[in-house]
Amino acid sequence: MRTRLFSSATIALLLLITAASCKKEQQQKEENAPITIQKKLGVMHLYRSNISQGSHKVIQNQAELNTLISGEDLDRYPDLKNIDFTRYTLLLGSDSYSNRVADIQYDLIKTTTVQYEFRVNFGGLATQPEGKFEYGALITKAPSSVNISFVATPL
Domain ranges in the chain are: 1-32, 34-154
Q: How far, in Å, CA of 68 to CA of 113, rounded?
A: 29
pLDDT of residue 16: 47
pLDDT of residue 13: 46
Contacts of 72 (CB under 8 A, 6+ apart): 47, 48
CA 140 to chain centre: 7
pLDDT in tens, 26-42: 555 555 678 999 999 98
Residue 130 vs residues 78, 81, 150: alpha-carbon distances, Å: 22, 24, 20
The amino acid occupying position 92 is L
pTM confidence score: 0.78
Least Cα distance to 152 among 110, 73, 91 occurs for 91
Distance linking the first and last C-alpha atoms of the chain: 79
CA count, 13 A, side-chain hemisphere, 114:
6
**Torsion, Cα of 94, 133, 154, 145 (10° steps):** 30
Q: How far, in Å, CA of 40 to CA of 34, rounded?
A: 17
Q: Is the pLDDT of residue 23 over 70?
A: no
Question: Please, which pLDDT band fits residue 106 given cuts at 50, 70 and 90?
Answer: very high
Who wins on pLDDT, 111 or 124?
111
